[in-house]
Structure 1
């Protein structure tokens, strides 16, 4: 008898791929005889290296090896050779639609995500906002699986439930965590201005934490060249600070360190989701976007979301990529550094 084999497609972005993890993990545990393949870009491999044995990862370089229609046809052939019985499209963009459609036309069972765009549009419009919680990405992904005959209970806790997160794997610069010392992560960057706390204000947070709390060690996270320059400057300027992204190698090492943090301070960005995947508490900072849009971190507490709830223009964007209607990003500038520090409950 042919083994059921589902291929799950989600190409980007990092935060969205990270949000598939609790769903895939729950599916794997509740259907141990189901073969599960996750198709994504190569960067995502670390997310799925701590999965149950019935999960494997398929890396697809869409910019080179599988570029364009010719590349997608080659990718389709590669996937078809794996003899899937169902295709779950967690992305529903041009590339995933093309692959999904080819499988549909050949008689395969397929289903795709409902992104609930209408509800998000009402939530983010300037006038007559409808301030209602939208279905989360976790719920939307799970709904795709349910359509294919695999209803699940979301039961995920951490990628490192069975270990594998020893600090000894990391650079000696990180070292072991002394008893009584609290480790705080700070990921101050995001893809768009509407989601990023002003760096001058974030530096004030760093300054207070570094000078007024003797039992803290602070780790900075940010991967870009300019980002690392800022973080290295802070690390040199303030005691007890380390630019983790400078000394760690790859996503898996970041996940290991993050799993040992007491709290991560993050924007509405991928780092919120990385911390969520390893069971670390996140104090998240929200500006143009809002937890109601459905992208809040897995198992995070709403009380740990720092946001200006008085501004009637919020939220104005699902992804934080729209120009500010006011022109001043008051949603972020109005949040005092002290509000973030207080939320840490040090």
Structure 2
């Protein structure tokens, strides 16, 4: 795209949640920063997603913010005023388009800032997820929608992001508390069996079978990913008595360590969840399991292969974009109908 002499020089970017959604913005944000070296970009997000911004371009400034300090209309007005005064914001790229960011955009406009909101494509989503007469066509990917926001601001763009640790392996010291450095001939597999909503979670009793069968393979080492006490306890039971299974949730090493570890794995088995996107950022192959949701909604991991998607063709799928709606059949067959053998077969494909 040709350079625009009227392009803004100080651009605010916002995406507050969730972790996976922020991860999806990174290939686009890093690329637009590289394509516009004369511009400063300020990424406004919550503290946890802010920790994902590894190897950030020199003109990208990450602004972690506690949204609890800026509640309501008054809070968004105060935040807009603070940002404009401190960083001389000229344009606002809203990659979230929720009530909070629309309010922030309103107060930015009142200060003369150019504002572009993400176009979510709600009509297409509704056609894809409605109970009857679905239109089973792939929607525009979220990364393409993010690119469009910057295009509408008149910014140059070229896909240049290559992933984290693309040129050099991460320091093994990052995950030394979990395992020794990888030995020749070892096969490392990370498994992320959880998601925010039930419609996106493969049944734990079936996933445990996947874990057991993989752990029985010679030379295999498994790393189980999760967060919080309940998930750590579940993974701990799966790892019990096996010296080649590591419960990463119990170690709590942090996102950077887990991403470094995933970059050294031959594959990651994940739900349609944040870990799919984190693994994608480090160039890991992801065998992703999809239930209530569908890759057609535009959320497949960056550079992931369609043949690594494991799912059932059902007339009711997808029933929602985020997997947060009750199962219309009340049995979650979209997940229970996937056998452990099918997941292992997908993993073993070249």
Asked whether 1:245 is paired with 2:249, we answer yes
User: 1:197-208 to 2 correspondence within 5 Å?
Assistant: 197-208=202-213
Provide the residue aligned with 1:94 in structure 2. 99
* Residue of 332, 335, 348 corresponding to 1:332: 335
* Residue of 270, 273, 282 corresponding to 2:277: 273
Q: Report the Cα distance in structure 2 between the residues aligned to 1:123 and 1:203, rounded to whole angstroms.
A: 32
- Report if aligned partners of 1:48, 1:56 keep a CA contact under 8 Å in 2: no
Please list the CA deviations of residues 267-320 of structure 1 after superposition, one character each: whole Å capped at 9, or x if unmatched.
0000000000111010000001000001110000000000002x1111111000
What's the TM-score, normalizing by structure 2?
0.94
1:159 Cα shift?
A: 1.8
Asked whether 1:75 is paired with 2:92, we answer no
Unmatched 5+ residue regions in structure 2?
A: none
Q: Report the Cα distance in structure 2 between the residues aligned to 1:173 and 1:256, rounded to whole angstroms.
A: 11
Please list the CA deviations of residues 13-56 of structure 1 after superposition, one character each: whole Å capped at 9, or x if unmatched.
11111101000111111112211110000111222131111111
User: 1:136-151 to 2 correspondence within 5 Å?
Assistant: 136-151=141-156
Provide the residue aligned with 2:229 in structure 1. 225
- Report if aligned partners of 2:35, 2:156 keep a CA contact under 8 Å in 1: no
- Report if aligned partners of 1:48, 1:55 keep a CA contact under 8 Å in 2: no
Provide the residue aligned with 2:57 in structure 1. 52
1:151 Cα shift?
A: 4.2
Alpha-carbon RMSD across the aligned residues, in angstroms, is 1.6
Q: Report the Cα distance in structure 1 between the residues aligned to 2:275 and 2:82, rounded to whole angstroms.
A: 32
Q: Report the Cα distance in structure 2 between the residues aligned to 1:183 and 1:325, rounded to whole angstroms.
A: 38
Q: Report the Cα distance in structure 2 between the residues aligned to 1:127 and 1:30, rounded to whole angstroms.
A: 44
SS at structure 2 position matched to 1:283? strand
SS at structure 2 position matched to 1:122? helix
Q: Alignment length, in residue pairs?
A: 343
Q: Report the Cα distance in structure 2 between the residues aligned to 1:226 and 1:271, rounded to whole angstroms.
A: 18
Provide the residue aligned with 1:115 in structure 2. 120
Please list the CA deviations of residues 196-228 of structure 1 after superposition, one character each: whole Å capped at 9, or x if unmatched.
0000000000111111x1111000001021110
- Report if aligned partners of 1:6, 1:87 keep a CA contact under 8 Å in 2: yes
Provide the residue aligned with 1:176 in structure 2. 181
What's the TM-score, normalizing by structure 1?
0.95
User: 1:149-188 to 2 correspondence within 5 Å?
Assistant: 149-163=154-168, 165-188=170-193
* Residue of 111, 115, 121 corresponding to 1:106: 111
- Report if aligned partners of 1:158, 1:279 keep a CA contact under 8 Å in 2: yes
Q: Report the Cα distance in structure 2 between the residues aligned to 1:3 and 1:335, rounded to whole angstroms.
A: 49
Asked whether 1:341 is paired with 2:344, we answer yes
Q: Report the Cα distance in structure 1 between the residues aligned to 2:169 and 2:286, rounded to whole angstroms.
A: 21
SS at structure 1 position matched to 2:154? coil
User: 1:8-27 to 2 correspondence within 5 Å?
Assistant: 8-27=13-32
- Report if aligned partners of 2:11, 2:90 keep a CA contact under 8 Å in 1: yes
Q: Report the Cα distance in structure 2 between the residues aligned to 1:31 and 1:161, rounded to whole angstroms.
A: 21
Please list the CA deviations of residues 240-287 of structure 1 after superposition, one character each: whole Å capped at 9, or x if unmatched.
100112224222122111111110000000000000011101000000
- Report if aligned partners of 2:8, 2:91 keep a CA contact under 8 Å in 1: no
Unmatched 5+ residue regions in structure 1?
A: none
